[in-house]
Chains A and B, each alone.
Chain A
Amino acid sequence: MKLLARYNRVTLVTTVIMMLITGIIYYFTISLILTDDIDKDLEVEENEIFEYVAKNNQLPQVFESNDQQISFSEATQGAIKRYYIDTVYKKSEVHRRHRRRHEEYESGRALISSVSAGGKYYRVAIVKSTVETEDLLKIIFGITIGVILLLLLALFTANRLLLNRLWQPFHNLLKELRSFSISDNKTIPEPDTNIDEFKELNHAVAAMSSKVKKDYKELKTFTENASHELLTPIAVINSKLDSLLQTENFSQQQSKLLNDLYTSVSRLTRLNQSLLLLVKIENRLVDGDEEIDLKPIVEELLAQFEEIFNDKGLKVTFTGVDKTLKANRYLIDVLLNNLLSNAIRHNITGGQIVVTLTADSLVIRNTGDDTPLQSDELFKRFHKSSSSEGSGLGLTIAQQICENLGFGLNYQFVNGLHTFTAKF
């Protein structure tokens, strides 16, 4: 649920309830006051009757006026108690046009009282129409409802406009966060707002992002430095091994040991170089684009690996169209090399590799294990099958290169073939 909707719901419901309560209180207060007013009028009338009776010792003439009726009826001595009552006011008037009496019932208020005149005890009923009071109340009620509706509308519109504008800095920040990339140098801009909360939020996010970036940068620098520092000792080991080899006269056991050493050192070297390369690509330190004709490069690479294909008995087929790209040659070389290496490394003896170059993609399919691989794990650093002799960085580097070059690289398992597709 959107904040605005939630906020609207709460404020609007509260407003409606409050207005209703106010309306009810208003209604009762006013009707109380008005009833009180009518009661006073009735009392005045009563007093007039009493005065008249006191003066003339007889009942006054009954007449109807001013929406007021007075009636007398004989009653037993002392049976009438004085009280006010809500009653019905029977209004009868002569309709001018129809020339006949027309009766109408209206709500009314009555004062029942008693008077003694001429030795007789009378019940006095003074009834007053309250239709005007009711009308007044109706108007008040109508106005209240109208105000409620108007207020709701005003609140709704204002909330909508105001909140949308108020939250603009928040949405801006959200947009910044969505486009946040740990590796670029963009900082979160100052918000265009004077709302403290948003300023604070922005500062917190900016501080967090710069800290994350700094840590990430330090980590990368560390990786780079560590790899760099390792290079020299590896270089020394390598050269010492080469020197050792010159001393000759090795026993079979010694030569096997030396061979193992050579293999391990060269793995170490490659691992190290892969790490350095990865850091460099991630930092986008490799640039310099040129026009590249992809087809001859692929063909050359396949020719380069011919002996390795033969060694593993791999059947390699290549179909391609002429495709030129604007990219860094070195990155393209590494990309192709890594993808092809992957296809060779995880292949089976006597398997096949199918390379297809089209105008918008390069697809490398290879035989291998019959089970599909986890495509989201595949490109992670140091993710490799237990039998793999590789560095575990080849596909990570390939993916990073694709990202740098704006290509998409994905994996699928189609018809028993592990399929890597680089979309240009």
Chain B
Amino acid sequence: MKILIIEDEKGLRESIEEYFTEAGNICETASTYAEAISKVSLYRYDCILLDITLPGGTGIEILKKVKENDHQDGILIISAKNSLDDRLQGLDLGADDYLVKPFHLSELRARVMAIIRRKNFSGNNLLQFHELTIDLLAKSVKVKNQAIRLTRKEYALLLYFIANKGKVVSKNAIAEHLWGDGIDMANNFDFIYSHIKNLRKKLIEGGCGDYIHASYGMGYKFTDQ
């Protein structure tokens, strides 16, 4: 997949680029409005990560330009401007999603994958990972054609893992993804552990490989290696 990262903050841009760069992915970056405009008018991307405040112009202008030309690029706005107006304006203008800074890279990736999946829908709503088949429409999971019953949160967790496969996902990121802002009132993340244990048990009992690995007590990694 081909991704364009439009972000003026160097540290953030590099981190995102690094996180997305892997075999089969092409990551390009733009740090100014002019650079971004020239890239979006020349090339097409599966997903554009778009910062709103840029030197030389705003991300909203870039978004308008892409939509004016009827390009089908997925667009995810990443912005520090956590105002509802901005979010609504962005989504009204045709952005696919809106993520507020600061965010976890795993969350960003899950959102990007969701956008790309929607874009490349083409009648195929099945997500495949080895013997795992996930029906995104029916929200059902099958292992070797045997359905396994997951709770809503377990299902969301599995999707999150698959979107971030091969990456270590921190407990904080998982907690925030599943429980949202309310999560900080938990004393610790032990309940995440039990949650992941349940998911893992269900998958293994259903005949799936053991893909979820704890990583140094900081997070988890979904990998087939």
Interface segment, B30-38, B57-65, B76-84, B200-208?
B76-84
Interface segment, B40-48, B66-74, B111-119, B176-184?
B176-184
Give the CA-CA distance A234 to B183 in the complex, in Å.
19
Q: Which B residue's beta carbon lies closest to that of A349?
A: B187
Given A240-B11, A250-B216, also A266-B176 (CB < 8 A): yes
Tell me whether A286 and B80 are in contact (CB under 8 A). Answer: no
- Say if the beta carbon of A66 comes within 8 Å of chain B: no
Tell me whether B170 and A345 are in contact (CB under 8 A). Answer: no
Tell me whether A245 and B170 are in contact (CB under 8 A). Answer: yes
B52 CB to nearest chain A CB (Å): 12
Tell me whether B186 and A235 are in contact (CB under 8 A). Answer: no
- Say if the beta carbon of A246 comes within 8 Å of chain B: yes
In the complex, which range does the number of interface residues on chain A fall in? 35 or more
Chain B residues within an 8 Å CB radius of A265? 102
Give the CA-CA distance A337 to B182 in the complex, in Å.
6
Interface segment, B14-22, B124-132, B133-141?
B14-22
Interface segment, A21-29, A43-51, A291-299, A300-308?
A300-308
Given A250-B216, A255-B218, also A242-B104 (CB < 8 A): yes
Q: Which A residue's beta carbon lies closest to that of B190?
A: A311
B217 CB to nearest chain A CB (Å): 5
Tell me whether B172 and A263 are in contact (CB under 8 A). Answer: yes
Chain A residues within an 8 Å CB radius of B12? 232, 235-236, 239
Chain B residues within an 8 Å CB radius of A407? none
Give the CA-CA distance A264 to B183 in the complex, in Å.
14
Give the CA-CA distance A305 to B182 in the complex, in Å.
8
Name the residue in B82, B85, B179, B184 with the highest tally of chain A Cβ atoms < 10 Å from its Cβ.
Answer: B184
Chain A residues within an 8 Å CB radius of B100? 273
- Say if the beta carbon of B197 comes within 8 Å of chain A: no
Given A228-B80, A248-B215, A280-B83, also A243-B184 (CB < 8 A): no
**Contact residues of A: prevailing secondary structure:** helix
Give the CA-CA distance A245 to B106 in the complex, in Å.
11
A156 CB to nearest chain B CB (Å): 62
Tell me whether B186 and A311 are in contact (CB under 8 A). Answer: yes
Chain A residues within an 8 Å CB radius of B180? 304, 337
Give the CA-CA distance A308 to B102 in the complex, in Å.
24
Chain B residues within an 8 Å CB radius of A238? 102-104
Chain B residues within an 8 Å CB radius of A252? 216-217
- Say if the beta carbon of A217 comes within 8 Å of chain B: no
Give the CA-CA distance A269 to B173 in the complex, in Å.
13
Tell me whether B83 and A243 are in contact (CB under 8 A). Answer: no
Given A245-B218, A312-B187, also A307-B15 (CB < 8 A): no
Q: Which of B80, B181, B187, B191 lies in contact with A307, CB distance below 8 A?
A: B191
Task: Name 10 interchain pairs, CB-CB below 8 A, sorted by A.
Answer: A232-B9, A234-B101, A245-B219, A248-B216, A250-B218, A280-B83, A307-B195, A308-B191, A312-B186, A341-B184
Binding site for B on A (CB under 8 A): 228, 231-232, 234-243, 245-246, 248, 250, 252, 254-256, 258-259, 262-263, 265-267, 269-270, 273, 276-277, 280, 285-286, 288, 301, 304-305, 307-308, 310-312, 330, 337, 340-341, 344-345, 389-391
**Interface contacts beyond A243-B105, A308-B185: sample of 15 additional A-B pairs, CB < 8 Å, sorted by A:** A234-B102, A235-B101, A239-B11, A239-B16, A240-B15, A243-B18, A245-B168, A248-B168, A259-B218, A263-B172, A270-B181, A270-B184, A305-B182, A337-B181, A391-B184
